[in-house]
């Protein structure tokens, strides 16, 4: 299949040749109109007189002409067109341009080194590993545009290049900021599975490749303590200094020591619920520990909280699209649904787990959410 970026470039070259007074043929296996402005460009070429020939599975034949008089005609092209006539078409031309897809050997060695974690065993870029941000590799600080980032035409490549240039400038400015106090730690339990590197919404995690043992490196300046990587680490090798695992363990133990039969745990993002709580008075049976982000609540935290005898757990995240961690609140919602399904198979009678969203200026909404949830779970247990 013709790469759309190559097809678009071929059509533009053919249009330019026609405008300069020449004749142009574009030989394709199929019409490469997929892509931004593809149909428009294709129609512009046809109106200008460019002729398109589709050869299907039978490649065109090129014959070099020996001209003793040094005329401009140097090649004769024979092609079986599968669309217009089905017959063999022969024409002479003085220039032939052949566009092919990139092979691994065509990718610059320096670019391969930058993206070494994204190459398969044949040397091709692994598209599934490209970071969710446009044109950005999960190898922090490396950016891909053009065919390396997928099938895009020239217009899309230009737009992507502008976007990643702005992103790169932002990335560099943050790296130039002086280091701040330690926000996250990494223990020897880390096996460098790259889960944290792929999930971090701030590009705060990189890996220092070493021959014997690579190491995860955390940019304390870039880290904004969302805790998403900590919650998803399969080895519990990461921890936030300001919202440590030990603090959650202490909270669980205090809940366990409390003999109230109607106690309810409410976890809230410290940027939204943590801010609004200063304006409300929660019921006496409600225990509220602020968390760095709803995305920090791991399966182990919620499971251990359920074993303390609470009637229910309410998680207060941020509204969709209003989470500083980009997708922390959405990730938390999906995780809580999965955990609830899993724990329902373990607990004979699973305490209620609910997920709601709010903003920092919605103190009254927070109070209503907590009151309604507490009333519902305590009433259901009687």
Q: Where are the domains of the chain?
A: 4-93, 104-175, 184-226, 245-381
Residue predicted with more confidence, 116 or 62: 62
d(CA 324, CA 255): 29
Q: Using CA atoms, how far apart are residues 81 and 329, in angstroms rounded to an integer?
A: 55
User: What mean pLDDT do residues 354-378 have?
Assistant: 93
pLDDT at 135: 45
Please tell me the distance from the alpha carbon of residue 356 to that of residue 316, in angstroms, as a whole number. Answer: 5
Over 70: is that where the pLDDT of 153 sits? no
**Encoded tokens for 159:** 């737009």
- Kindly tell me if the per-residue pLDDT of 145 is higher than 60: yes
User: Look-up: residue for tokens 């870029």?
Assistant: 125
- Of the spans 68-72, 158-162, 245-249, which averages the highest pLDDT? 245-249
Q: Which range, of 26-30, 60-64, 307-311, 345-349, averages the lowest pLDDT?
A: 345-349
Does residue 222 surpass a pLDDT of 90?
A: no
19 pLDDT higher than 70: yes
Residue 186 is predicted with a pLDDT of 93
Q: Residue 76: beta bridge partners?
A: 63, 92
Residue 59 contacts residue 43 (beta carbons within 8 Å): no
Give φ, ψ of 361 to 5 degrees: -95, 15
Summarised one tens digit per residue, pLDDT across range 294-336 is 889 988 898 899 889 999 999 999 998 788 876 778 888 888 8
Q: Which of 73-82, 112-121, 200-209 has the lowest mean pLDDT?
A: 112-121
* Strand-strand pairing, 264-269 and 312-318: parallel
- Determine contact, residues 151/34, Cβ cutoff 8 Å: yes
Q: How far apart are CA 288 and CA 280, in angstroms?
A: 12
Question: What was the pLDDT predicted at 57?
Answer: 82
How many C-beta neighbours within 10 Å does residue 276 have?
Answer: 22
The CATH T-level fold of domain 245-381 is Rossmann fold (3.40.50)
**3-class secondary structure, 44:** helix
Check residue 239 and give its pLDDT.
95
Token readout for 295 is: 């995305």
Whether residue 114 is predicted with pLDDT greater than 60 in this model: the reply is no
pLDDT at 251 exceeding the cut of 90: yes
pLDDT tens-digit readout, 159-172 = 878 887 887 777 67
pLDDT of 212 > 60? The answer is yes
Residue 286 is predicted with a pLDDT of: 96
What are 55's two structure tokens? 């050869």
pLDDT at 382 over 50: no
Tokens, residue 80? 């079986």
Residues in contact with 193: Cβ distance below 8 Å, sequence separation at least 6, in sequence order: 234, 235
Give bridge partners of residue 218 from the DSSP assignment: 205
Q: Are 294 and 267 in contact (CB under 8 A)?
A: yes
Mean pLDDT of 22-28: 91
Other C-beta atoms lying within 10 Å of the C-beta of residue 123: 12
CA distances from 281 to 286, 287, 317 (A): 10, 12, 19
pLDDT for position 168: 75
**Looking at residues 28-41, what average pLDDT do you find?**
69
Task: Measure the CA–CA gap between 189 and 200, rounded to whole angstroms.
Answer: 19
Kindly report, residue by residue over 115-137, the tens digit of the pLDDT: 555 555 665 555 444 444 444 55
Instruction: Specify the pLDDT at position 273.
Output: 94
How remote is the C-alpha of 158 from its chain's centroid?
Answer: 20
What residue has token string 């300069």?
20
Give the Cα separation of 349 and 363 in Å (integer): 32
Computed over every residue of the chain, the mean pLDDT equals 81
Residue pair 98/60 in contact (Cβ under 8 Å)? The answer is no
pLDDT at 220: 85
The CATH number assigned to the domain with range 4-93 reads 3.50.50.60
C-alpha to C-alpha distances, 366 to 285, 337, 371, nearest whole angstrom: 16, 21, 9
**CA 268, CA 246: separation in Å to the nearest integer?**
18
């Amino acid at each position: 299949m013709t790469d759309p970026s190559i097809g678009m470039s071929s059509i533009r070259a053919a249009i330019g040749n026609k405008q300069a007074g020449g004749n142009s043929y574009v030989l394709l296996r199929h019409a490469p109109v997929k892509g931004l402005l593809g149909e428009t460009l294709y129609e512009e070429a046809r109106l200008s007189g460019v002729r398109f020939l589709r050869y299907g599975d039978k490649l065109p034949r090129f014959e070099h002409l020996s001209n003793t008089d040094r005329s401009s005609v140097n090649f004769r092209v024979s092609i079986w067109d599968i669309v217009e006539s089905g017959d063999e078409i022969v024409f002479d031309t003085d220039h032939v341009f052949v566009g092919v897809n990139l092979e691994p050997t065509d990718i610059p060695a320096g670019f391969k080194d930058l993206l070494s974690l994204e190459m398969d065993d044949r040397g091709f870029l692994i598209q599934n590993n490209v970071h969710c941000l446009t044109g950005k590799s999960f190898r922090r600080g490396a950016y891909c545009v053009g065919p390396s980032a997928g099938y895009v035409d020239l217009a899309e490549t230009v737009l992507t290049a502008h976007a990643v240039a702005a992103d790169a400038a932002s990335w560099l400015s943050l790296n130039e900021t002086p280091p701040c106090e330690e926000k996250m730690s990494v223990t020897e339990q880390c096996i460098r599975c790259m889960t944290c590197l792929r999930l971090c919404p701030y590009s705060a995690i990189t890996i220092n490749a070493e021959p014997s043992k690579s190491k995860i490196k955390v940019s304390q300046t870039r880290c904004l303590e969302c805790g998403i990587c900590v919650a998803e680490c399969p080895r519990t090798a990461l921890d936030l200094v300001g919202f440590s695992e030990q603090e959650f363990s202490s909270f669980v133990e205090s809940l366990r020591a409390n003999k109230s039969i109607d106690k309810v745990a409410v976890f809230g993002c410290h940027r939204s619920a943590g801010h609004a709580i200063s304006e409300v008075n929660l019921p006496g049976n409600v225990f509220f520990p602020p968390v760095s982000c709803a995305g920090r609540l791991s399966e182990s935290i919620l499971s251990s909280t359920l074993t303390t005898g609470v009637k229910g757990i309410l998680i207060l995240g941020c509204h969709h699209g209003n989470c500083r961690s980009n997708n922390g609140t959405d990730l938390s919602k999906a995780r809580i649904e999965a955990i609830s399904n899993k724990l329902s198979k373990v607990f004979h009678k699973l305490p209620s787990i609910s997920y709601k969203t709010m903003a920092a200026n919605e103190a009254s909404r927070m109070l209503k959410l907590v009151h309604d949830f507490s009333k519902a779970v305590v009433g259901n247990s009687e």
